Amino acid sequence: MKYTVDIQGMHCAACVHAVESSLADIPDVTDVSVSLVLHSATVTINDTRSSLVNELTKAVEDAGYSALGVRQEDTATTAASFARIDEDVSTLQRKVRVAVPLAFLTMAVSMILMFEPFTSQIDHTIANIFLITATTPVLWQGREFFRTALRAARQRTAVMDTLVTVGTSAAYLYSIVVIILHSLDTIPLSVHHHVGMYLDSAAMIVALVLFGRWLEARARTKTTDALRSLVSMRPTTARRQLHGSVDVVQLDDVRIGDQLVVLPGESIPTDGTVTSGTSDVNQSMLTGEALPVSKSPGDRVVGGTLNIDAVLTISVDRIGADTVLSQIVRRVEQAQQGKTAIQHLADRISAVFVPIVLAIAITTFIVWLLFDQSPQSIEHAITTSISVLIIACPCALGLAVPTAIVVGTGRAAQAGILFAAPSAVERLAEVTTVLFDKTGTLTEGRFEVSDIVADGPINEEDWAAIATVQSRSNHPIAVAMAQYARQKADVWTDADVTVQTVVGAGVEAVIHRPGHNKALRVRIGNPALLERSMLIVDQGTIAALEHFSQTGATAVIVNMNAVTRCVVALRDVVRPEAAEVVADLTRQGISSAIVSGDRTSTVQRLGQTLGIEESYGEISPGGKADLVDQLRQQQRRVAFVGDGVNDAPALASADVGIAMASGTDVAISTADVTLLRSDLHSVLAAISISRSTVTTIRRNLFFAFFYNVAAIPLAAGIFYPSYGLLLSPIVAAAAMALSSLTVVLTSLSLYRTRLS
């Protein structure tokens, strides 16, 4: 059983680690994944006990955070979780509006007092004003820093708020002590000589951290735009037709079998089948294709798609979490909630990052205090240690991977590409070989008549017989032949037809027509069909069969009353974009291969047509999986592209399984990647977004590591002896805020990625 817990108060990777550790301690929990971007945790538990909700809530609160709700994933509650995230942004904005002006006022007073005539002595009144303007942002707007740090301390851990709390507390408390000593006339409060000057630093640190966190939170909400857009497509009401009247009801009250009326311009409330009306429906949210699709009685429609032209009445097939839209949302959430291998590494580093920074800050303070012989040694020790605490940014490390994954998978969803997990993004970016299944993937899975060989003309009666027999079968070859024959003659609707299917050979039929004394016996199939009836296959027919076989076509003999009338060649229709996609993969350094259960000659012929060098024919579904394993043993990273059903073993064996779904069959696919469009360009797009996402992740991590490696020594004052460069805690706070914001903005650039 999977539960999602909405969490408030997480700001860095250390927060994520604390929540994950606490949730993992619950009995029967098998997996925990916490998303800093989505403010939620997904917990898998091998139990259904009634106390689970309370246990999950308590575990989050024990870690020092607020559990806003525990749910099993569905679209409606996802919308509610977004509302909570937006409320967090609004709360931060309110704090910023108070903290920033007061911090600047504190700094302005401090700067004014540095000039004459205020350089000699500050009276008690000015000192008190100075204290009030600094205390409000530190202890009121910044109180959440202290609460989170205290809760973390109780759990014997440290988070980013611990660094902010220790830094501001040091500056604030030192200043308070100085002011108290001044009030007792123990020491003069000389701003010019920097005694008591850290109140403005404490206030500005809190203000800048809050401001940076607000900007970061606003930017982070943009990373979920794609998922928000999907969620918003689900209507909240429906027009239900009951006993001749139509009433507007809440969508949650709709049940399977209900009749819903959908007006032009309205979104279809849920999945169903059209029972009356004909209209064009915009399915772009499902397939990414803007061209409307005509829907008439008997056609399936998907909830969230837009009815354009006329009134439709639909019978409800699926509701709630079972709808296609809910499944798509769940797929996107799963992809955004999990973690890649590189993120696990970043999390391990982040878990020890804050304690290491605390140790560096303490060491910095001691070193400056012991080895700085100048009169400002205490000032230098305080400034550098506070700067080290403030400038270190575990946020950048914690956000580097998840923000890129959320934006990347969201961008993919907009293009009709669903990743099952973030690890699939990482693996697809490293693919070196794409193995395509033939039927239904490189081809459209439908046949068309390409050639006909006959000793003489085929008359209208022959075509009518072919149409009459083949129209009674759903076999792809029969459908294609019937469609072609109906263009030549009409089906004999008044005939009495007996059809027998001979497995592996074809069909035999006996047709009795009114007004005709003699029955017509029709055989359509391969030579084995004729041989079982002791009929001889003439040399001309054999030559035609061999010719078509060599050219990759499927050949069928049409025999009537023991006389071969013709040989019909049919070809699986190749997708028009297939050759272009293969050529594009080759330009990217990715090899292509084709596999099929069809004859080897047919598969090789198609491979030559498309420019594919590796072709494998007469391979069973299990053999396809073995072929994938063989290619992987050659140190290749293999992506298998199939239909998601018949190719399940190969999809599971590949490094990345890519299934081409029909849009309404999202649930049947267990592949790593599901393509909602029946277009091979989606394969290129999936690879493109994967590579762009992984590149962004690496860029983010490089920046986060480089920033901290460079910034912490700078804040510690390593360049002061040589260059006189000492970083102010205020500058450190601004740098820290900008570092996490930079990571988020870099990830947002993925929305502008041009997909192949």
Q: Which residues contact 172 (CB under 8 A, 6 or more apart)?
A: 134, 135, 138, 198, 199, 202
pLDDT at 116: 47
Provide the 10 A C-beta neighbour count for residue 107: 19
Q: How far apart are CA 15 and CA 157, in angstroms?
A: 9
pLDDT at 127: 66
Closest CA to 171 of 122, 204, 144: 204
Q: Which residues contact 10 (CB under 8 A, 6 or more apart)?
A: 16, 19, 34, 36, 39, 65
**Residue 274 pLDDT level (bands cut at 50, 70, 90):** very high
Q: Are residues 94 and 228 in the same domain?
A: yes
Q: Are residues 437 and 579 in the same domain?
A: yes
pLDDT at 645: 58
Residues 158-201 pLDDT 10s: 888 888 999 999 989 888 887 777 666 655 555 434 444 578 88
Residues 78-88 pLDDT 10s: 666 777 778 88
Residues 353-381 pLDDT 10s: 889 999 999 999 999 999 988 888 888 99
Phi-psi region of 64 (alpha: psi -120 to 50; beta: other; left: phi over 0): left
Q: How far apart are CA 702 and CA 251, in angstroms?
A: 47
* Cα 148–Cα 73–Cα 335 angle in degrees, nearest 5: 80
Residues 297-338 pLDDT 10s: 999 999 999 999 899 999 999 998 888 888 888 888 778 777
Q: Is the dihedral of CA 680, 686, 687, 688 positive or negative?
A: positive
Instruction: Count CA within 13 A, CB hemisphere, residue 692.
Output: 24
Residues 429-444 pLDDT 10s: 999 999 999 888 898 8
Q: Which residues contact 5 (CB under 8 A, 6 or more apart)?
A: 23, 40, 41, 43, 56, 57, 60, 67, 69, 70
**Average pLDDT score over residue span 669-685:** 87
Q: Which two tokens stand for residue 482?
A: 């019937």
pLDDT at 115: 56
Q: Is the pLDDT of residue 662 over 70?
A: no
Could you tell me which residue, 154 or 358, shows the higher pLDDT?
358
Of the residues 318, 343, 369, which one is the last residue of a structural domain? 318
Q: How far apart are CA 249 and CA 703, in angstroms?
A: 52
The answer to the question of residue 704 being in a domain is no
Q: Which two tokens stand for residue 135?
A: 């205390």
**Average pLDDT score over residue span 123-148:** 82
The answer to the question of residue 91 being in a domain is yes
Element (H, E) at 301: strand 300-301
**Average pLDDT score over residue span 421-436:** 95
Do 685 and 643 form a contact (C-beta atoms < 8 A)?
A: no
**Average pLDDT score over residue span 621-645:** 89
**Average pLDDT score over residue span 10-18:** 82
Closest CA to 336 of 42, 750, 57, 77: 42
Of the residues 539, 556, 573, which one is the last residue of a structural domain? 573
**Average pLDDT score over residue span 13-33:** 89
Q: How far apart are CA 262 and CA 308, in angstroms?
A: 10
Closest CA to 597 of 578, 564, 619: 619
* Domain containing residue 465: CATH number: 3.40.1110.10
Q: Are residues 487 and 560 in the same domain?
A: yes
**Average pLDDT score over residue span 477-494:** 94
Could you tell me which residue, 157 or 169, shows the higher pLDDT?
169
| Options 437, 572, 672, 679, the catalytic residue | 437
* Domain containing residue 277: CATH number: 2.70.150.10
Q: Are residues 89 and 215 in the same domain?
A: yes
pTM greater than 0.85 (yes/no)? no
Structural domain count, the chain: 5
Q: Return the residue matching tokens 């297939």.
A: 578
The answer to the question of residue 724 being in a domain is no
Residues 397-409 pLDDT 10s: 888 888 999 999 9
The answer to the question of residue 278 being in a domain is yes
Q: Which residues contact 23 (CB under 8 A, 6 or more apart)?
A: 5, 29, 32, 34, 41, 43, 56, 59, 60, 63
Percent with pLDDT over 90 in the chain = 46
Q: Is the pLDDT of residue 289 over 90?
A: no
DSSP string, 358-406: HHHHHHHHHHHHHH--STTHHHHHHHHHHHHHHH--HHHHHHHHHHHHH
Q: Which two tokens stand for residue 652?
A: 């599971």
Most confident segment among 94-108, 123-137, 681-695: 681-695
The answer to the question of residue 469 being in a domain is yes
* DSSP summary character for residue 458: P
pLDDT at 54: 92
Q: Is the pLDDT of residue 633 over 70?
A: yes
- Establish whether 647 is a catalytic residue: no
Residues 258-267 pLDDT 10s: 999 999 999 9
Of the residues 75, 92, 110, which one is the last residue of a structural domain? 75
pLDDT at 646: 64
Q: Are residues 532 and 580 in the same domain?
A: no
Q: How far apart are CA 125 and CA 356, in angstroms?
A: 41
Beta bridge partners of 510: 498, 521
Q: Are residues 545 and 634 in the same domain?
A: no
**Average pLDDT score over residue span 212-235:** 82
pLDDT at 667: 43
Q: How far apart are CA 70 and CA 57, in angstroms?
A: 7
**Residue 113 pLDDT level (bands cut at 50, 70, 90):** low
Do 323 and 342 form a contact (C-beta atoms < 8 A)?
A: no
pLDDT at 192: 39
Q: Are residues 650 and 660 in the same domain?
A: yes
**Average pLDDT score over residue span 509-526:** 93
Q: Which two tokens stand for residue 545?
A: 């069969």
**Average pLDDT score over residue span 599-626:** 89
Q: Which residues contact 115 (CB under 8 A, 6 or more apart)?
A: none
Q: Specify the range with the lowest mean pLDDT, choosing from 84-93, 358-367, 494-503.
A: 84-93
Could you tell me which residue, 696 or 187, shows the higher pLDDT?
696
Helix then strand count (H, E) for the chain reads 25, 26
* Domain containing residue 29: CATH number: 3.30.70.100
End-to-end CA distance of the chain: 38
Phi-psi region of 611 (alpha: psi -120 to 50; beta: other; left: phi over 0): left
Mean pLDDT, rounded, of the chain: 87
pLDDT at 362: 95
Q: Are residues 67 and 87 in the same domain?
A: no
pLDDT at 607: 92
The answer to the question of residue 594 being in a domain is yes
Percent with pLDDT over 70 in the chain = 92
Beta strands in 153-269 (DSSP E): 237-242, 245-250, 259-262
CA distances from 678 to 298, 442, 661 (A): 21, 10, 7
Q: Which domain holds residue 45?
A: 2-75
**Average pLDDT score over residue span 566-586:** 94
pLDDT at 226: 75
Do 60 and 22 form a contact (C-beta atoms < 8 A)?
A: yes
Q: Are residues 457 and 527 in the same domain?
A: yes
**Average pLDDT score over residue span 29-41:** 87
Q: How far is CA 703 from the centre of its chain?
A: 23
Q: Are residues 44 and 107 in the same domain?
A: no
Instruction: State which amino acid sits at residue 117.
Output: P
